[in-house]
Structure 1
Amino acid sequence: MALGPKVWLWRWRRNPLKRRADRVEAWVVLGVGLLTVCAGMLAGTAVSRSVEDGLARERVEWRPLVARLAERAPGTASGNHDVSRAEQVWAEVVWTAADGSPHSGQVRVPAGSAAGSPVTVWTDSEGRQVTRPVTESQARVRAWLIGGVAAISAAAVPLLAGRAVRGRLERRRIDQWDAEWSRFGPMWGRTTG
């Protein structure tokens, strides 16, 4: 199949063979393009800012506290202080929140740690155990990634709707062409004489 040269803005040029459906499709393509870009940018920006603000709030509100092991950690203690993640075990720790209420939770500690050993835990403003907050650069990367996914998802909606409308227009054009062909096609076999 041979394709001719690409003509820029061919949908907008005057052409006596252009039908109403072709003009509608030109506007649909333009509208879908604008909606896709705008929806993607707005959703991506809004979600990215929301995620980054939420993570910044966590960095401000979450605080480290010193907790104590409630009992001896399972396993045997190793002699060196640089314990790998594989040599750490889950153990029960207890701490007192800023309001004086007692709390407990599970954290990873070196195997064989003695009961009462100090362990750092991160807590929210109500004293509940949380994970360590992400750094500013980690928050920025996470916000960009989540914002990018939101942008792609939001942009997909008008894009898919536009594809559906264009498919409907194409079916309508084919039906019109079939109707015209059935009307004029038989005339081609006639001879004048």
Structure 2
Amino acid sequence: MVAFRGPKVWLWRWRRNPLKRRGDRLESWVVLVAWVLTVGGGLVAGLLSADSVESGLARQREEWRPVEARLVEDAPEAGADSGAGAEKVWAKVRWAAPDGSTREGQARVDPDDVVGTPVTVWTDALGRLVTEPAGEAQARLRAGLVGGLAGIFVAAVPFAGGRVVRGRLERRRMDQWDEEWERIAPLWERKIW
């Protein structure tokens, strides 16, 4: 059987009650502050993180450019060291930086390409090799995931803090009840016998 609890009373923690102790009022404010910080802090942190990631990826799409590079050495065959089902292998390439200097580096190319084969690589504003920037849909997905995780982690701090404070208040309340019972119990036993 389920115990009857009566009708649900909204905001019962803040209603006037002559039996309410100071610890009960403190606990009600701890719950309110913990939930406001949990929800508000999580939302703010998540939205700011998502916006930061998305703007960073948008900046990469604007600044990073594809550049034609040439293979400096023959590309190796796809083998066991390339990984299972690898479509590309690492090989040395050379390209021209925006300042006109020649740069060399490792890039992913098709297996069995020969020296001098043109390859498209991505470079930043300084001419350094970078990966291909994320597309808009992929950027939104990454931003959403990072924002969600950041929001969860930030929201966990006040939630856990509120639980710890409530646990200590509960422990203190139980200790007070034990002390009161130690004082009152002997008086009741005299009346019964």
Which of the residues 20, 38, 60 maps onto 2:22? 20
Could you tell me which runs of 5 or more consecutive residues in structure 1 were left unpaired when the two chains were aligned: 77-83
Give, in angstroms, the shift of residue 60 of structure 1: 0.2
Aligned residue number for residue 73 of structure 1: 75
- Look up the match of 1:108: 108
Residue 33 of structure 2 is matched in structure 1 by 31
- What letter corresponds to residue 73 of structure 1 in structure 2? A
- Secondary structure of 1:86's partner? coil
1:96 Cα deviation (Å)?
Answer: 0.9
CA RMSD of aligned residues (A): 2.0
Q: Deviations over 1:111-143 (max 9, x none)?
A: 111100000000000000000000111101100
Deviation at 1:109, TM superposition (A): 1.6
Residue 75 to residue 26, structure 1, CA distance change in 2 (3 Å): same
- How has the CA–CA distance of structure 1 residues 56 and 87 changed in structure 2, closer, same or farther, with 3 Å as cutoff? closer
CA distance in 1, matches of 2:66, 2:51: 26
Residue type matched to 1:177 in 2? W
Moved more, 139-148 or 98-107: 98-107
Alignment of 1:44-193 (within 5 A): 44-75=46-77, 86-191=86-191
Return closer, same or farther for 1:192/1:137 CA change in 2, 3 Å cut-off.
Answer: closer
Cα 1:109–1:192, aligned 2, differ >3 Å: closer, same or farther?
closer
Moved over 6 A (4+): none
Change (3 A) 1:96 1:192: closer
Stretches of structure 2 lacking an aligned partner (at least 5 in a row): 79-83
Q: State the AA in 2 paired with 1:178.
A: D
Q: TM-score, normalised by structure 1?
A: 0.89
How high is the sequence identity, in percent, across the aligned residues? 60
- Which region of structure 1 is more displaced relative to structure 2, 107-116 or 56-65? 107-116
**Map of 2:81 onto structure 1:** none
> TM-score when scaled to structure 2?
0.89
User: Residue deviations 1:11-48, cap 9 Å, x none?
Assistant: 12333321110111011101111111111111111111
- What is the SS of the residue equivalent to 2:66? strand
| C-alpha distance in structure 1 between counterparts of 2:116 and 2:77, whole Å | 16
Task: State the Cα distance separating 1:66 from its structure 2 match.
Answer: 0.3
Structure 2 CA distance, aligned partners of 1:157 and 1:87?
44
Identify the range of structure 1 (38-47 vs 3-12) with the bigger mean alpha-carbon deviation: 3-12
Q: 2:43 aligns with which of 17, 41, 44?
A: 41
Deviation at 1:72, TM superposition (A): 0.9
